[in-house]
Amino acid sequence: MASSQLPPGWTLEEIRRVSGDREARPLHTARVVTGWPVQSGRLRPEIVLGFHDLCLVKAVNDEDWYMGSLNDDGSVTCWSVYGNFYDALRGL
């Protein structure tokens, strides 16, 4: 199973404070990530963070952060993209 991790330089406590979600958590990257604005049909996740039924995903070799819904089957359907992690957290 793929590992779960945090963005470099961030702690889980900082992520929870900025996002306002006290239950934010890193998730395993072994999941399907699709939706707009995913250009190639699917992203290969490097980092996946869960915020109740929302997710932020950073893809391998991509600096953007994708926001989407965490589906019942564990997949993520994206609908928005942010240029940096802090803005993505505030967008939740």
Query: What would the pLDDT profile of 21-52 be if each residue is shown by its tens digit?
Result: 999 999 999 999 998 877 667 889 999 999 99
- The tally of domains found in the chain comes to 1
Q: Is residue 6 part of a domain?
A: no
Q: Mean pLDDT throughout 2-16?
A: 90
- Beta pairing class for 45-51 and 54-59: antiparallel
Q: Is residue 56 part of a domain?
A: yes
67: containing domain: 12-90
Q: Is residue 3 part of a domain?
A: no
**Least confident stretch, 2-6, 16-20, 23-27, 79-83:** 2-6
C-alpha dihedral sign at 8, 5, 27, 14: negative
CA dist 88 to 16, 49, 64, 73, 81, Å? 13, 11, 9, 23, 8
Q: Is residue 1 part of a domain?
A: no
Q: Is residue 74 part of a domain?
A: yes
Q: Mean pLDDT throughout 1-8?
A: 77
Question: Contact at 8 Å (CB) between 60 and 44?
Answer: yes
